[in-house]
Amino acid sequence: MGLWVAPGLLLAMALTLHLAEASAPPHRDYCVLGAGPAGLQMAYFLQRAGRDYQVFERASRPGSFFTRYPRHRKLISINKRHTGRTNSEFNLRHDWNSLLSHDPRLLFRHYSRAYFPDAGDMVRYLGDFASRLRLRVRYNTAIAHVTLDKDRRAWNGHYFILTDQKGQGYRCSVLLVATGLSVPNLVDFPGAEYAEGYESVSVDPEDFVGQNVLILGRGNSAFETAENILGVTNFVHMLSRSRVRLSWATHYVGDLRAINNGLLDTYQLKSLDGLLESDLTDLAVVKDPKGKFHITLKFYVEEGNQSAEAVPLPQDDSDNFAMRVAYDRIIRCLGWNFDFSIFNKSLRLSSGGEFSKKYPLVRPSYESKGSRGLFVLGTASHSVDYRKSAGGFIHGFRYTVRAVHRLLEHRHHGAAWPSTELPIAQLTSSVLRRVNEASGLYQMFGVLADVVLVKENGTAFEYLEEFPMQMLAQLETVTGRQARHGLFVINMEYGRNFSGPGKDVFFYDRSVGYTEDAWQSNFLHPVIYYYRQLPTEQEVRFRPADWPLPRPAAIHHIVEDFLTDWTAPVSHILPLRRFLENCLGTDLRGFYAESCFLFALTRQKLPPFCQQGYLRMQGLVGTGSLRQHRVASGLLQGYAAAGKRSEDSGQRPGFQEPADQPQAPGPLDQPLTGNKEEL
């Protein structure tokens, strides 16, 4: 194969000929577009798996977005360096900047001491991440064009042909697009040209001294801009279509974070600065001879002639119109869109419709709806959980990228989704461990969920971590695991009615303390769904409104906890065990070897804990003091003392059987009555 082809020649051939195999461009199994956080994260997983991959980066270093943005240099992703815990997985819940790797030096807390770090530190971090892990990144390579080349032998029935700015082509089996959102969002209205963009506006407050400033937009960039100039301007007005959404009320990190909300203070306290709601597309800006800007309605501008003095203004009719004052500057902070321009139409990479025009349309597996084998990663993949979860941010997409990698490992390399198989007696512990430490579940609540696949006879289970829960119906085909005997899905959720703009999240009685009210928990808490069989695609698609998953056979909420520490024996563990037991129709209690011994000689069946421990010579012996506690608790009779059959057996609380469940075995005394019946 001709591996060395002059770029010019290749371009010429590409224009004139169908690319023949002999002149095929260099091939990679995986091509990653963009060496930002998501691209590097994917590169890391591909590298660890020993895959053939290449990252293409337009700039000369990773994370170029962060060299310019955010303009005021302060990241609003928290860098919590101290949690009082040593659990590295748990600590990632409050480290929103690190990428996932096996190298503890590559944790962001080693790069910045600031709670809200400087963007420069992120650039430095990403640089180290790429170089220390020796990720294969091709810098200074701007992919200008992506097309499809149909080929039946290709993994996905086609190859992706990438062409860079020099005309060099690359052929890829799988294309991973991690280019982020790079095109500033523009709104078209008369006079839009007078607005300066966030991307280029001055960040020096001196330039705003004594000015009237109008900011278009209501996101974090708008508030960040306002925050910077609040002290020197006459006033700042902010205009956007929708009401302000405070992230602590919506529980969505993309909404306005408390760190940027200084303007709300002066607006609400002193009517100094202000927020206004209007559809920007209805507006028009006219410039007067003094260079000041006046807000009017598009409708007026279209009606009258275009000269500035003659344009009617709203205040002509209504003399208390809010924006009747003239502005010195108008700044546009309307966010970014995905750059669709480099993708050929044949890739059918389209925007996500009404609600997420800024994002390309992808499936819950992050695969493009238009082209098999094209996956969108990182910020650009946020259409999956826009305004819901954290998939548009580093602390969220580091996990969705891992999920995509796991899907690819199965699809192309036959490696089933990693799982741990354990005896059923370990089920309660396995679930507890994850809900108490897992960061992926915690960040990507409602998107990634753990799945427990029950094995035949219910004696064992497989534990799969952080599976994209909207793919549940296709779980068997995309993971290579079998779900024939029932499954549990472990998700983290806020209360159904708790989050939303304008909701009072501080209302009295907001926290739930009783386990029987756990389903009304408001703060993020674990919810476990049980299905007897995999839901179908139909069931997932047409699930009840507000439900993240189809209606399960049973559901359990672990009651919210102020410390997010769900290890309390009675409030957290016991109700969870009862739920799992009732779903599986078995007894998941732990027993000491002595109890197992008794059961082994007095019953034909043993509880799973005894079967899987004691009978395999791994019984739990216990100590004298624990035995005394057992006797004291009434869960064990002091056998040494029992000379005659105890008549008060029913009064021992632990093994007492509910009257309506005569079939449930009472480990110690039930056999007595059972025998009578059988004799």
Partner 1 sequence: MMSFSFNGFRVGISFVMMCTVYKSAVNSLPELSPQRYFSTLQAGKASLAYFCQADSPSTSVFLEELNKAVKPLQDYGISVAKVNCVKEETSKYCGKEKDLLKAYLFRGNILLREFPTDTLFDENAIIAHVLFALLFNEVKYITTPEDLQNIENALKGKANIAFSYVRAIGTPEHRAVMEAAFVYGNTYQFVLTTEIALLESIGMEDIKYAHLYFFHCKEVLDLTQQCRRTLMGQPLTTVDIYRFIKSMEAPLLTEVAEDPQQVTTVHLQLGLPLVFIVSQQATYEADRRTAEWIAWRLLGKAGVLLLLRDSLEVDIPQQANVAFKREEGMPVEFLVLHDADLVISYVENNTHIEETREDEADDMEGPDMEMQDDEVAESVYRDRKRQLPLELTVELTGETFNATVMASDSIVLFYAGWQAVSMAFLHSYVDLAVKLKGTPTMLLTRINCADWPDVCTKQNVTEFPVVKMYKEGENPVSYSGMLGTEDLLKFIQLNRISCPVNITSIQEAEEYLSGELYKDLISYSAVSVLGLFSPAMTTAQEDFTEAGKYLKGYVTTGIYSEEDVLILSNKYTATLPALLLARHKERQVESIPLANTHAQDIVQIITNALLETFPEITVENLPTYIRLQKPLLILFSDGIINPQYQKALLTLAKEKHLDSVIPCWLNLKNTPVGRGILQVYFEILPPLPVLVVVNLHSGGQVFAFPSDQAITEQNLLLWLKKLEAGLESHITILSAQEWKPPLPAYDFLRMMDAAASQHPTRKGPEGMKETDIQENDIQPEDKSAARNERIEL
CA 32/CA 27 separation, integer angstroms: 13
- Shortest Cβ distance from residue 430 to partner 1 (Å)? 8
Nearer to partner 1, 28 or 630 (CB): 630
* Distance in Å, CB of 585 to partner 1, minimum: 6
Interaction with partner 1 in 81-120: which residues (CB under 8 A)? Answer: 85-89
Tell me whether residue 322 or residue 568 sits nearer to partner 1 (CB atom): 568
Exposure letters 641-671 (e unless 16+ CB within 10 A, then b): eeeeeeeebeebeebebeeeeeeebbbbbbb
Nearest distance, CB of residue 498 and partner 1, angstroms: 6
Total number of residues that touch partner 1 (CB under 8 A):
121
What does 529-573 look like in DSSP terms, one character per residue? EEESSPPPHHHHHTPPTT-SSPPPSEEEEPPP-TTS----IIIII
Considering the complex, state which of residue 6 and residue 632 has its C-beta at the smaller distance from partner 1. Answer: 632
- For residue 422, is it left (φ>0), alpha (ψ between -120 and 50) or beta? beta
Q: What is the DSSP string of 472-499?
A: GGGHHHHH-----S-EEEEEEE--TTT-
Smaller CB distance to partner 1: residue 149 or 657?
A: 657
- DSSP H or E stretch at residue 516: none
Residues 227-286 that bind partner 1 (CB under 8 A): none
Q: How far is the CB of 572 from partner 1 (least distance, A)?
A: 9
Instruction: Pick between residue 276 and residue 615 the one whose CB is nearest to partner 1.
Output: 615
Q: Any contact of residue 343 with partner 1 (CB under 8 A)?
A: no
Q: How many CB atoms sit inside 10 A of residue 281's CB?
A: 11
Instruction: Report CA torsion sign: 515, 521, 524, 527.
Output: positive
Using omega within 30 degrees of 0 as the cis cutoff, is the peptide bond preceding 548 cis? no
618 near partner 1 (CB under 8 A): yes
Q: Is 432 in the site for partner 1 (CB under 8 A)?
A: yes
Q: Is the dihedral of CA 561, 563, 566, 567 positive or negative?
A: negative
Looking at residues 626 to 645 of the shown chain, list those that interact with partner 1 (rule: CB under 8 A): 626-627, 629-630, 632-633, 635-640, 642-645
Q: Which of 430, 459, 482, 564 binds partner 1 (CB under 8 A)?
A: 430
Nearest CA among 240, 280, 295 for reference residue 263: 240
**Least separation in angstroms between CB 436 and partner 1:** 7
Q: Segment contacting partner 1 (CB under 8 A): 19-27, 238-246, 301-309, 613-621?
A: 613-621
| Residues near 365 by beta carbon (within 8 Å), at least 6 away in sequence | 375, 404, 407, 468, 471, 474, 478
Q: Give how far the C-alpha of residue 674 lies from the chain's centroid of Cα atoms, to the nearest Å.
A: 52
Q: Identify the burial level of 206 via C-beta atoms within 10 angstroms of its C-beta, where 0-12 means exposed, 13-18 middle and 19 or more buried.
A: exposed
Residue 497 makes contact with partner 1 by CB under 8 A: yes
Q: What gap in Å lies between CA 381 and CA 235, rounded to an integer?
A: 37
Which residues in 190-219 contact partner 1 (CB under 8 A)? none
Q: Does 149 bind partner 1 (CB under 8 A)?
A: no
Pick from 141, 261, 371, 595: which binds partner 1 (CB under 8 A)? 595
Q: Which of residues 516-575 bind partner 1 (CB under 8 A)?
A: 516-520, 522, 551-552, 554-557, 567, 569-570, 573-575
For partner 1, the closer of residues 233 and 439 by Cβ is 439
Give the nearer residue to partner 1 in terms of CB position, either 120 or 665. Answer: 665
Residue 55 CB, shortest distance to partner 1, in Å, is 27
Determine if 587 is a binding residue for partner 1 (CB under 8 A). Answer: yes
In the chain, the N- to C-terminal Cα span, in Å, equals 84
Based on CB atoms, which residue is closest to partner 1, 318 or 497? 497
> In the complex, what is the shortest distance from the CB of residue 107 to partner 1, in angstroms, rounded to a whole number?
12
Which one of 11, 272, 422, 473 is in contact with partner 1 (CB under 8 A)?
A: 422
Number of Cβ within 10 Å of residue 433's Cβ equals 14
Asked if residue 341 binds partner 1 (CB under 8 A), the reply is no
The reply to whether 53 sits near partner 1 by the rule CB under 8 A is no
In terms of CB distance, is 128 or 581 closer to partner 1?
Answer: 581
- For residue 404, the minimal CB distance to partner 1 (Å) is 22
Q: Which residue's CB is nearer to partner 1, number 412 or number 455?
A: 455
The side-by-side arrangement of strands in the sheet containing 554-557 is 419-423, 460-468, 448-454, 487-493, 525-531, 554-557
Q: Return the number of other C-beta atoms located less than 10 Å from residue 599's C-beta.
A: 21
In angstroms, the CA 18 to CA 13 distance is 8
User: Which residues ranging from 465 to 494 are in contact with partner 1 (CB under 8 A)?
Assistant: none
Q: Is 399 in the site for partner 1 (CB under 8 A)?
A: no
Q: How far is the CB of 213 from partner 1 (least distance, A)?
A: 34
Q: Which of 287, 455, 510, 543 binds partner 1 (CB under 8 A)?
A: 510
> Which neighbouring-strand residues pair with 21?
none
Contact 41, 196 (CB under 8 A): no
CA distance 445 to 157: 34
> Which stretch in 211-219, 369-377, 444-452, 593-601 sits in contact with partner 1 by CB under 8 A?
593-601
Element (H, E) at 175: strand 169-177
Which CB atom, from 311 or from 635, has the smaller least distance to partner 1?
Answer: 635
In terms of Cα–Cα distance, which of 520, 515, 449, 457 is closest to 486? Answer: 457
608 binds partner 1 (CB under 8 A): yes
